[in-house]
Amino acid sequence: MRENKTKKIKRAGEVYKTLLSTYPDAKCSLHYSTAHELLVATILSAQCTDHRVNQVTPALFQKYKSPNDFAYCDVVELAKDVHSCGYHNQKAKSIQGASLKIVEEHGGEVPDNMDELVKLPGVGRKTANCVLGEIYNVPSMVIDTHMVRIMNLLKFTNTKDAKKIEYELMDLFKDEHWVKLTHLIIDHGRGICIARRPQCGACVINKLCPSALT
């Protein structure tokens, strides 16, 4: 029997409440101290673990201390500095290109809206939403691989399209919960709802999940 929207919204609220009580300290796992550092770290995190990015960024941010430093650096050298994050040449070009645009068109300040953020080289909705939520407290939702997988398992969506998922979830969860929701799902995906070996028996939202293995 198909679940109507009212019941789905109620279940979404229960999922959020249960995960929040389980992972009360869930937060962005990337290390940063400025909006630009978060932007750089998020670009580096594509197809790479946050743990690896956090190993690279301390020395990186010591060497390049401002958007200006990244904007006018030697991109070949920058690529070497981020080599271990994978796709280093493309990521270096994106970081330099985004930094240049920030310096020359935004006075050195990372934009605070989606339209301008996604105009930056290497910045898509995922990176933009991360910056908006973490830095500017704008209700936003980062759709990463954990969100795609787990929200499909929860039957809150039936697509792999990140933008469609984002809008569908915004319709189910309260906007003040959007930013935190991503962190809760990531923590749950890393610890319990693991892609190839979900631990349904230990899952706190087992009873709320239509895909749970009983």
Gap between the Cα atoms of 89 and 68, Å rounded: 19
How many angstroms separate the Cα of 141 from the Cα of each of 64, 69, 124, 128, 134?
Answer: 29, 30, 13, 10, 10
With b for 16 or more beta-carbon neighbours within 10 A and e for fewer, the 15-39 pattern comes to bbebbeebbeebebbbebeebbbbb
CB 114 within 8 A of CB 139: no
**What's the DSSP call for residue 207?**
G
**What's the DSSP call for residue 139?**
-
Q: What are the tokens at 91?
A: 């990521």
Residue 38: closest CA among 116, 143, 112: 112
- Active-site positions? 126, 144
Residue 17: closest CA among 166, 184, 143: 184
